[in-house]
Amino acid sequence: MGELEPVGYQHLIEYLNLGAKVRPLEAPAFLNGSVNQKVRGQNGFWYPRKTAVEQTLIGHVEFALRNEGVNLEVLEAVFEHLPEAELLRRLSESPNSAFVRRTCFFWEWLTGGNLAFDKSPSGAYVDALPEADYFTSDSAHTIRHPKFRVRDNLPGTPDFCPLVRRYALTDGPSLDELLDEADRTLEQVTDASLYERAVHYLYLSETQSTYGIEKEKPNGSKGERFVQILARAGEEERITEEWLVDLQNVIVRDAYAQEASYRTKQNWLEDGTGRITFFPPPPEDLQRAMQGWEGFINEHPDTGGYRCPNVLVRAACAAFGFVFLHPFLDGNGRIHRFLIHHVINGARRLKGGAIVPVSAVFLRRADEYLNVLNGFSRPTTRLWKYAPGEDAPHVTASPGGRPYRFFDATPEVRFLHAMLVEAVRTELPRELHWLSGFDSAFEQLNDELNIPRPDLSALIRMVQSNNGKLSSNKRKTFKHLPDEVIARIEDVVREAFAAASVQPDINGASHSSRSRS
């Protein structure tokens, strides 16, 4: 292997000492004299040493935009060190270069500055974000900037703009196709009263699952209130700080955890050993990021179309962006999962107001879910410098809001798509099968046995969740019932659930080793 020379974003990070301000690149670029073409090396991408790169800051920015794509996090950090004079020099030399014009556009877009360049380029308009590589804004929201002849097709604003590579959704069904499948599955429930119960059961199961991920079990009133909120997900309502505060007050465990606004102090997450696993942005940077996040999620078709028109992409970016920003001290994870429903339902509702039970799949795929969260939280938290404190860590340095405003949401989009596929094709039929089996067993046993309805319901669940047998431990709770009655319940439950080849985890048991509240 020849000697490696960092180029593009990696050169800029090393030359400007940005390692403490931006997250490491997933695949940095290097020049290597032993290769004749671009290849994937063990530590990134290698380019032939003969590759032309102007050895200036803007020269490496041009290389990065040409070969590595758009990294807003690094660009904003670099532009704090890139003199206007160097930009103007390069623009005067190559006023029609697409990469120079895009660099100038990004400089103004990210810094809010104004380059004093009177002579307008004459080249054709170019996209700020290559449409072939990224999900971009729709044509109704693309803004032409004649100064550099660049089309602003970014899906967000400088306050919040996650980017998603198109390869995130190259495989599998589209969201519309998945929702069509879900509707066809629901149409198999032909009895109107059973359908109504099925819809409510989906809400209840989703509520139990989303709390179960946090290792909590909602009490009756709080669980029912969350069910009611789920039923309203997607209604045309502008998401504001006040709206989110009201939602947070509904879902948190107790009144002491209820918020009156976005947080005004630093919070963090830690594991069972007390080790800090995640720092959300500092409170002084949170307000700007949340303002950008609200703008991202509130784009509405009445304005001519969404700036981020792909619904699944918008749902993933908004939901995961919210939990990364962590604007409350408690309840962020449950709101994050609710937002998935809110965005998807806002674009298209299932028959009868049903929902896709995605939290149930998150719960079952807890390790994968945690890996996606850690993919953002670990490298971001490493940018923080702190010392242990008696009540709170003593923070000496942080990256500010930049990593939280600009992140590559490609992994989050791919994960959400995979979870929705499983929710529609496996979890939804599973839950409908379970409800059908439960109803059949309950109806038959309720006619035969003189057992209070709540006890009968509990017995059916206990027997079904234990492979058709009431455990000896649970048997103690119902020691007043004769053995032959218990045996009859077990027989009927096994028979009723025989049609359901797979059963859902309706108790919300968490398999996660870490809470993301």
Q: What is the mean pLDDT of residues 262-279?
A: 92
Res 510 pLDDT > 60:
no
- Of 101, 129, 162, which closes a domain? 162
Res 353 pLDDT > 80:
yes
How far is CA 349 from each of CA 184, 189, 232, rounded to the nearest angstrom? 13, 17, 11
Asked whether residue 352 is domain-assigned, the answer is yes
- Of 407, 424, 441, which closes a domain? 424
Asked whether residue 508 is domain-assigned, the answer is no
DSSP 192: H
User: Whose structure tokens read 């969260």?
Assistant: 373
| 176, 218: one domain | yes
| 157, 239: one domain | no
Asked whether residue 429 is domain-assigned, the answer is no
Q: What angle do CA 185, 191, 197 make, to 5 degrees?
A: 80
Asked whether residue 95 is domain-assigned, the answer is yes
| 151, 266: one domain | no
| 200, 158: one domain | no
pLDDT in tens, 41-78: 889 999 999 998 999 999 999 999 999 999 999 999 99
| 339, 467: one domain | no
| 149, 173: one domain | no
Q: What is the mean pLDDT of residues 79-84?
A: 95
Res 351 pLDDT > 70:
yes
Asked whether residue 505 is domain-assigned, the answer is no
pLDDT of residue 316: 98
| Joined tokens for residue 140 | 């109704």
Q: In total, how many domains does the chain have?
A: 3
| 154, 257: one domain | no
Q: pTM of this prediction?
A: 0.90
| 294, 193: one domain | yes
CA 241, CA 341: separation in Å to the nearest integer?
A: 19
How far is CA 257 from each of CA 172, 219, 443, rounded to the nearest angstrom? 41, 16, 41
pLDDT in tens, 319-334: 999 999 999 999 999 9
| 357, 269: one domain | yes
CA 456, CA 438: separation in Å to the nearest integer?
A: 11
Q: Which residue ranges make up the annotated binding site for ATP?
A: 330-337
Sorting pLDDT into bands at 50, 70 and 90, what band is 513? very low
Which CATH number characterizes residue 232's domain? 1.10.3290.10
| 138, 263: one domain | no
- Of 391, 408, 424, which closes a domain? 424
Domain of 50 in residue numbering reads as 5-162
| 417, 475: one domain | no
pLDDT in tens, 403-429: 999 999 999 999 999 999 999 999 999
Asked whether residue 392 is domain-assigned, the answer is yes
Sorting pLDDT into bands at 50, 70 and 90, what band is 441? very high
Res 366 pLDDT > 70:
yes
Name the catalytic one among 326, 341, 342, 417: 326
Nearest Cα residue to 109 out of 68, 137, 58, 147: 147
Q: What is the mean pLDDT of the chain?
A: 90
pLDDT in tens, 457-507: 999 999 998 989 999 999 999 989 999 999 999 999 999 988 544 333 333
Res 508 pLDDT > 70:
no
pLDDT of residue 2: 64
Q: Which residue ranges make up the annotated binding site?
A: 330-337
pLDDT of residue 301: 53
CA 70, CA 318: separation in Å to the nearest integer?
A: 20
- Reduced to 3 states (helix: H, G, I; strand: E, B; else coil), residue 278 is strand
pLDDT in tens, 3-23: 899 999 999 999 999 999 999
Asked whether residue 212 is domain-assigned, the answer is yes
Asked whether residue 479 is domain-assigned, the answer is yes
CA 312, CA 492: separation in Å to the nearest integer?
A: 42
Question: Catalytic: 326?
Answer: yes
How far is CA 454 from each of CA 256, 331, 460, rounded to the nearest angstrom? 32, 30, 10
| 89, 73: one domain | yes
User: Whose structure tokens read 């307000």?
Assistant: 287
Which residues on adjacent β-strands are paired with residue 48? 32
pLDDT in tens, 120-141: 788 899 999 999 999 999 887 8
Res 388 pLDDT > 60:
yes
pLDDT in tens, 161-173: 999 999 999 989 9
